[in-house]
Structure 1
Amino acid sequence: MRKLGLLIPVVVVVLVGILASIFVVDEREKALVLRFGQIKQVRTEPGIGFKVPLLDEIVRFEDRILTLETPVIEVTPADDRRLEIDAFVMYRIADIVQYRQAIGVGGERQAESELRGILESQIRAVLGSQGVTSNTILSPERSALMDQIRERSDSRAQLLGLDVVDVRLRQTNLPEQNFDATLQRMIAEREREATDERARGREAAQRVTALADRTYEVILSEARRDARIIEGEADAERANIFAKAYGRDQEFFEFYRSLSAYEEALKGENSTMVLSPNSEFFNYLRSDQGSRSNEGETN
């Protein structure tokens, strides 16, 4: 009975020691086993582990993606239009040994402070680089800028044992004190662009008008040339017809020409003419001319 009374405490001590030497790593975390501050085990997989009771310390780290928000960052793009940027970063602890050595005893707060400094410096460097304007930041090219910030931040966060998963620029605002000045500058730029566009439009209109005028003159000159050619051909044909008619019956031709002259002279409202009665114009209107014609026919 006495032996049983001594055995029970021993069993209890052994059980407590066994339980104290066992630890469990959750699937959402990683762990380090430290002995007097020195790393003895690195546990990156979930499961049961063992340690030396009272000597070993278990330090646990998140294996999930973490989020860190930055304070409002003021940047000055290439167009000197200051902007206030609100951003956040998503990251995870990739190397817990390097992470532990980098942050020391500062823990998670120290890591967040250093990562926040990295992110702020890279946001200022990328958004303030040459060729990046405020319009670029507010355009669809914003995603390419965020990728560039993530890559540059990730290369520096590797020294802390961290992987930068993503960087997002949530809000981009103008400082209150610069809002009016920026608005006026934007209005002036748009007016300048509008003036340039109108000037280019007028220049294009002048080119089109000049081309149209030149084409008009070319077409008109060609039409006049063709008209002269046709008129010349018509005059030649007319003269040829008259010549043939004159050759066939000279007296009839002269009679026809006189009738045409009478028609042209007497048409219109004014039919009064002042001429000598003996004028050749009236040869075919005098009765004696008709009598001579009849006598000629009788003979």
Structure 2
Amino acid sequence: MMKAQLILPVVAVIAVAAFSSIFIVDEREKALVLQFGQVKQVKETPGLGFKIPLIQEVVTYDDRILGLPTQPLEVTPLDDRRLIVDAFARWRISNLIEFREAVGAGGVDSAQTRLDRILNAAIREVLGSVPSGRVLSEDRTALMNQIRDRARVESGALGIEVIDVRLTRTDLPEQNLAATFARMRAEREREAADEIARGGEAAQRVRATADRTVVELTSDARRMAEVARGEADAERNGIYAEAFGRDPEFFAFTRSLTSYERSLQSGNSSIVMQPDSEFFTYLRSDLAPSDRATVPEAVQGTTAATTP
């Protein structure tokens, strides 16, 4: 009975000691076994681990990729234009022992504070060596890679690996925005005025070329028309001359009929003459006088009066 009473407490103590010597590492974590502040064991794989109860302790750290947004930082690029910049970094613990020695019991919070200072220094150094136009451009991959590489070198002593750095904002200070926008607007207006002037000049050249082409085409058409009209008049006069040479009396007769037609057309004027005027020679007799070659000669002796 006495033995049983002594054995039970011993078994309980042993069970408690056995359970306290076992620890579990999650797949998202890494663990260090510390003895009086010194690292005795590194556990980087998930599963069960063992430690000495009451003497050793287990400290776990996140093994995932962590994010660190930086505070807005004022940077002066190479052309002395101030910019407000903030960034976002992704990092992870690469060496547990170095990490523990560097940050001590502060853990991840202490590491992020020191990493923030490293990032700020890298951002100032890289962006201060280039013009502001390159910082504000869309293609800033090279600059972000430079910042990442500088931060990676500095943070290596902390047991930290900087995976990536991204610039999330690059803006002008509020007091400089109005002046910058006004300058940008003036530049765009000047470019627009230049484009309008070049367009007007090109339009004027096209218009002048078109006007010259119209004049040339019109002159050529008129010249061709005059040539055609002259050739037609020559052909007509040739026909008249040939007809007059064949039968002068018939030619005089046709000319008289033409004169009658033109004189007796309806209009606002009237012709008054004597009935025995030579103008009506071919209307009074069947035979025309043979000594008259043309009607206009007969018309010359006619006395006419025009009344409105």
2:28 alignment counterpart: 28
Q: Structure 2 vs 1, CA of residues 168 and 178 (structure 1 numbering), >3 Å: closer, same or farther?
A: closer
Question: How many positions carry a matched residue from both structures?
Answer: 279
Q: Structure 2 vs 1, CA of residues 219 and 103 (structure 1 numbering), >3 Å: closer, same or farther?
A: farther
CA contact (8 A) 2:25 2:48 kept: yes
CA contact (8 A) 1:99 1:162 kept: no
CA contact (8 A) 1:76 1:128 kept: no
Q: Structure 2 vs 1, CA of residues 150 and 3 (structure 1 numbering), >3 Å: closer, same or farther?
A: farther
Q: How does 1:184-263 map to 2 (within 5 A)?
A: 184-257=182-255
Q: Structure 2 vs 1, CA of residues 294 and 127 (structure 1 numbering), >3 Å: closer, same or farther?
A: same
In structure 2, list runs of 5 or more residues that go unmatched: 272-276, 292-308
In structure 1, list runs of 5 or more residues that go unmatched: 273-282
2:303 alignment counterpart: none
1:276 alignment counterpart: none
Give 1 or 2 for the bigger CA radius of gyration: 2
Is it true that 1:116 corresponds to 2:110 in the alignment? no
Is it true that 1:132 corresponds to 2:133 in the alignment? yes
**Cα distance per residue 1:140-184 (max 9 Å; x no partner):** x3xx43x55553444345443334356362x55542322332343
Instruction: Give the letter for the 1:24 counterpart.
Output: I
Q: Structure 2 vs 1, CA of residues 256 and 66 (structure 1 numbering), >3 Å: closer, same or farther?
A: same
For residues 254 and 131 of structure 1, the distance between their equivalents in structure 2, rounded to whole angstroms, comes to 101
Q: How does 1:36-51 map to 2 (within 5 A)?
A: 39-51=39-51
What is the TM-score with the length of structure 1 in the denominator?
A: 0.69
Q: Secondary structure at the match of 1:285?
A: helix
Q: Structure 2 vs 1, CA of residues 197 and 294 (structure 1 numbering), >3 Å: closer, same or farther?
A: closer
- Cα deviation, residue 262, structure 1: 8.1
- Cα deviation, residue 117, structure 1: 3.7
1:97 alignment counterpart: 96
For residues 240 and 231 of structure 1, the distance between their equivalents in structure 2, rounded to whole angstroms, comes to 14
Instruction: Give the letter for the 1:190 counterpart.
Output: R
- Cα deviation, residue 37, structure 1: 5.7
What is the TM-score with the length of structure 2 in the denominator?
A: 0.67
Dislocated runs of 4+, deviation >6 Å: 77-80, 261-272, 288-292
Give percent identity, aligned residues only: 46
- Cα deviation, residue 211, structure 1: 2.8
Instruction: Give the letter for the 1:285 counterpart.
Output: F
CA contact (8 A) 2:87 2:167 kept: yes
Q: Secondary structure at the match of 2:27?
A: coil
